[in-house]
Amino acid sequence: MTKNLKYGLILLSICAVCAFALALTNSITAPVIRMQDEVNQKKALEAVSNGWTIGTRSEVTDQAYVTYTIDLLDNSSVAGYVVGLSTPGYGGQMTLVASYTNSGEMLFAQLLTHNETPGLGKKAEQEGYMDKFKGSGTEKAVPTSKSMLSDADAQAVSGSSVTFTAIAKAIAAGSEYVKNLGGAR
């Protein structure tokens, strides 16, 4: 009994010191990380806004992929939307932002956070990866399988089909959501 208590106290002491070290590190790093996230989010919004004015944000809670929308204003009328998307990738949940016209045509998209495999799914954050979805959503369907891509694009997503499909489904869902809004707000 005394021996078990002693072992418990030793483990408790080690855990307490580790918890203190982690709390201290977190108190230093958390504000820096939060600031970086805000800057990245702002940069991403500006990158996908198509030069239009970024308007008000509305949270969306009843959709599978869509988490929020932001109006894009052209001379104070709604010209399109930025849609915040969340989709399950190979390494866990991924978040991205995509902009659409009122008719649901995708303009630009950018990956925000993910845990995809370096060298494979992680390629989705590279410049140009989202180009394969540009202009899709209306007359041209969003490519949700590799067979809908050109040979070069299919080669580029080789080895990371889960990531590609997850992003494609989210972009397609965003397009559908915007079509239903139809510039109504």
Name the site residues for another protein (rule: CB under 8 A): 6-7, 10-11, 14-15, 18, 21-22, 25-26, 28-30, 32-33, 36, 91-92, 114-120, 122, 125, 158-159
Residue 4 or 56: the one with the smaller Cβ distance to another protein is 4
Nearest distance from residue 173's CB to another protein, in Å? 25
From the number of C-beta atoms within 10 Å of its C-beta (0-12, 13-18, 19+), residue 162 rates as: middle
What element of type H or E holds 94? strand 92-101
- C-alpha gyration radius of the chain: 21
State how far the Cα of 65 lies from the Cα of 5, in Å rounded to an integer.
Answer: 50
Residue 23 or 60: the one with the smaller Cβ distance to another protein is 23
Nearest distance from residue 57's CB to another protein, in Å? 24
Nearest distance from residue 98's CB to another protein, in Å? 20
Nearest distance from residue 48's CB to another protein, in Å? 19
Residue 19 or 64: the one with the smaller Cβ distance to another protein is 19
Q: Under a CB-based contact definition with an 8 Å cutoff, are residues 128 and 120 in contact?
A: no
Identify the CA nearest to 133 among candidates 148, 112, 122, 118. Answer: 148
Residue 122 or 132: the one with the smaller Cβ distance to another protein is 122
